[in-house]
Amino acid sequence: MNRKQYLVLDTNILVSAVLAKTSKARQALDKAQDIGKILRLKQLYLNHISLFNKIFMIKFRNTKYHLVSP
């Protein structure tokens, strides 16, 4: 029997994985998605959205792109 594993990743890993597609953090995220299900709490998910919005706004403040909350 092949049981699916449940994993929790640190916010810093998620942020790094989103910002750098060839980073070790991205490799960890990809591997975690391959071997199991990544758990997330609603409050942490909302925190991630807020954090990604801030990072996105700083990184792309002089462009036409924008990020919206789900």
- Extract the runs of DSSP E, i.e. beta strands, from the chain: 5-7, 36-38
- pLDDT computed for residue 30 by the predictor: 92
Q: Tell me the mean pLDDT in the region 46-64.
A: 73
- pLDDT computed for residue 62 by the predictor: 63
Residue 53 has pLDDT above 60, yes or no: yes
- pLDDT computed for residue 66 by the predictor: 55
Phi then psi dihedrals of residue 60, to 5 deg: -120, 30
pLDDT band at 2 (very low <50, low <70, confident <90, very high): low
For tokens 């998605």, name the residue.
33
